[in-house]
Amino acid sequence: MRTGKDILIRFQKRWQLMLWLEILLYALGAAVFIALVFQNFILSLIIFMLVGAVAMLSLRPWEINLNYISNYVDREVNTLEYSSGLLLVSAESLSGLARLQQQRISGQLEGEMRSVKPENNLLRAAVIATVLIVLGFVGLRLGLAEDLVSNQPEIEEGEIIVLRPADSVAVETSAPILESQNVTISYPAYTGVSAFTTSKMNIEAVEGSRVTWEIAFDAAIDSAQMESSGNRHFMDFRNGKYSRSAILQNSGFYNFRFTDTIGASYVSELYSIKATKDRSPEIEIEGLKQFTSFDYDEEKVVNFTAVVSDDFGIADAFIIATVSKGTGESVKFREEQLQFDSEVRRGSKNLQLNKKIDLDQLKMEMGDELYFYVEARDLQQPTPNRSRSETFFAVIKDTVSYGPGVEGTLGVDLMPDYFRSQRQLIIDTEKLIADRNKLPQKEFNSTSNDLGFDQKALRLRYGQFMGDETEGPGEMVIEEDHDHEDGEEDPLAAFTHDHDGNNEHNLVERHDHEEHDDGEEEDENPIDKFLHDHGDPESATLFTDSLKSKLRQALDIMWDAELHLRMYEPEKSLPYQYRALALIQEIKNNARIYVHRIGFDPPPIKEEVRLTGKIEEVTNYQKTANPEEPEEDRNLKQAIQRLQALIRQGAATSREDKYLFELAGEELAAKAIEEPGKYLESLQQLKWLTEDRSISREMMLEVQRQLLQAVSPPRATPGKLKENTTGLNKLLLKELELNDR
């Protein structure tokens, strides 16, 4: 015997089943309608799932539970006294009175449930589904499906394939009627472009795309072919259509050729195929100069932004950096691949990538150079396109580097580490002049005096290379008489370059003259003039005589530069400093090392034929070349001449003529690829001349006219033009010449 709870469960299942059936009717009716009208199974399946999902969300059959059933039954049956909920509770947990009520309701429920009907719209769903199915059959019967097929694009008026007879047999018969034509272009997967279908036979797509042609006729035909680049490819027949697929690699032209069941042939017009290349990524660097230099004590950081773009997406972008260390033959290079600070999102068509290059992190030192560029790759398969930006430079200034010198034939490094400190003195002097109004007078004078001391120290250091002896970097070992007639000491005597005074420069000169006068009494050694005495201060130098004179001149100029710095006149000192620096640069440039070329290994000398004078085996090398360039449009010009003869004679084309026209068509096809709209009709008519068909005189004239327009104009040949000068013109020119004088 069934209990009251079992009765409620059975009622629940019946109610849910009716709701699920209602959902099924809605979805099935819509799906059958779509399948009959559009004849597309995939589309009908999508509609079935979509309508079913909407109906489920509206009816919600999973919400019909036992509590919902109990409340519904209490509302519909009054005799149950709203006690059907007791049937869902176990008898052990009820009181004695509640247990009696449960038994009474359980006995009445089976009889009362026969009059309770679940709420549903099953009849309405059945009517709607029936109407949709009937409408689908009516549309199919009336042929509406052929007009609404979604995967068959509508053929435009100017895109319909026109079939022309290819032989005399086909002229007497009617051409087959074209029912449908479409081209499906599937771009490579990496492009992310969805496949699309068009009725246009002129194709333009990226290289590597798959192109599928589908053509259907109203009646059976024997075969269908596609002609391209002189080759014929048979089209496959499946599902009532002729189709062919190919991977797009090159640009060109093609046409269709059909043969009906009685052997008549028909050809279509020519259509163009344009294969576009996947462009390489474009890179633009923003916020960075071509050359950047840093002082050693400043922050050495390079910041820039790279804007990378591509037509189908970027695969990767990075920086190739090369660090150069050392100079000359000891230079070393280290190459690194750096990543951007910004994330490179694979597949993005536009990226803005930021990078901060810290030269210290690259372990660069003074004099090191950094060369870097940005490289990017796109998603092309199997070989991606690569692009790179221009090269940028970053250099850490080296204030102590120097060039090599030369002594005789031995290369030595003559230039001291402080050889460029004169430039630093100029920088400090210019800074002092610029800050004159900002500094107190005492501080300004002190700074100018310090610069004068630095100038003196630099002069004395250079003096060491001239053979001057010093006790240190600051004082010369020369005794001077500082007593004056008035008993006062001149404060500027130590710093003035007085050519009449007793300074160290003039003392040396006087000493030389005195020695020369005393030497007249002694015997002169005739070998002294040929000796290089290292004990002589003027001869004990590392430089040659030409460099020595320039360095002596630079030391004299440093005297004047030091004087004005000591007198707190940096503006007057600056010109002397620049002159001294120019002389130092000349000294450095005159002390270059020239390295002989190596690597040439001359052939060995044959001693048996040396100095014999035999030259029988010695021959001259001669090469004959034809500088003439091949004639342009040769076959086109010959085709024009042959057409003129055919038009004049009224003769038919021969086998040789057809071969000539084919060669001319190849030359014209190369021009038509660049401008298909201009030469496509000419190429079509020229192809007809190669077919076995009768060609009218008017068509030949039209083809000849179009070929004349396709021939390239002759190249300009420079030359002197011959002028025809009359006697009157000569008299006029003569009078003009006389008047000009």
Query: Which one of 288-302, 629-643, 649-663 scores highest in mean pLDDT?
Result: 288-302
pLDDT: is 464 or 282 the higher one?
A: 282
Pairing mode, if any, of strands 210-217 and 241-247? antiparallel
Same domain for 452 and 334, yes or no, is no
Do 445 and 583 sit in the same domain of this protein?
yes
Residue 482 lies in a domain: no
**How many angstroms separate the CA atoms of 165 and 263, rounded?**
11
Q: What is the pLDDT of residues 112-131, one digit of tens each?
A: 666 677 777 888 888 898 98
The answer on 319 and 202 residing in a single domain is no
Paired with 178 in beta bridges are 217
Same domain, 379 and 291: yes
Digit-coded pLDDT (tens) for 704-719: 888 888 887 776 666 6
Residue 692: which of 721, 716, 657 has the closest Cα?
657
Q: Is the residue at 252 inside a domain?
A: yes
Side chain identity at 20, as an amino acid letter? Answer: W
Sign of CA dihedral 352, 358, 362, 366: positive
Output the six-digit token pair for 205: 């797509």
| Number of domains the chain contains | 5
Question: Is the pLDDT confidence value at 86 over 50?
Answer: yes
Q: Each residue of 463-502: pLDDT tens digit?
A: 776 666 543 333 433 333 434 444 444 444 444 545 445 5
Q: Residue 254: which H helix or E strand, with range?
A: strand 252-259
- Whether residue 441 sits in one domain with residue 378: no
- Looking at the domain assignment, is residue 725 inside a domain? no
What CATH number does the domain containing 202 carry? 2.60.40.10
- How far apart CA 58 and CA 65 sit, in angstroms, is 17
276 DSSP β-pair partners: 206
Mean pLDDT of 302-312: 94
Q: Are residues 161 and 248 in the same domain?
A: yes
Instruction: Look at residue 740 in the predicted model and tell me its pLDDT.
Output: 57
- Considering the domain architecture, whether residues 12 and 129 belong to the same structural domain is answered as yes
* Within-domain flag for 499: no
Q: Is residue 703 part of a domain?
A: yes
Would you say residue 512 lies in a domain?
no
Asked if residue 564 has pLDDT above 70, the reply is yes
Compute the distance between CA of residue 514 and CA of residue 617 in angstroms, rounded to an integer: 75
What confidence tens digit (pLDDT) does each residue in 183-207 have? 999 999 888 888 889 888 888 999 9
CATH number at residue 302: 2.60.40
Q: What is the pLDDT of residue 516?
A: 43
Report yes or no: 206 and 380 within 8 Å, Cβ to Cβ. Answer: no
* Average pLDDT of span 682-707: 76
Determine the structural domain holding residue 209 and report its residue range: 152-276
Confidence class for position 539, pLDDT limits 50, 70, 90: very low
645/607 Cα distance (integer angstroms): 73
Q: How high is the mean pLDDT of the chain?
A: 76
Do 570 and 668 fall into the same domain? no
CA nearest to 557, candidates 574, 540, 577, 572 = 577
Shared domain check, 53 and 181: no
> Do 263 and 185 share a domain, yes or no?
yes
List pLDDT tens digits, range 361-394: 998 988 899 999 999 999 998 889 999 999 999 9
One domain for residues 324 and 382 = yes
Same domain, 384 and 453: no
Residues 81/96, Cβ–Cβ less than 8 Å: no
For the whole model, what pTM was predicted?
Answer: 0.46
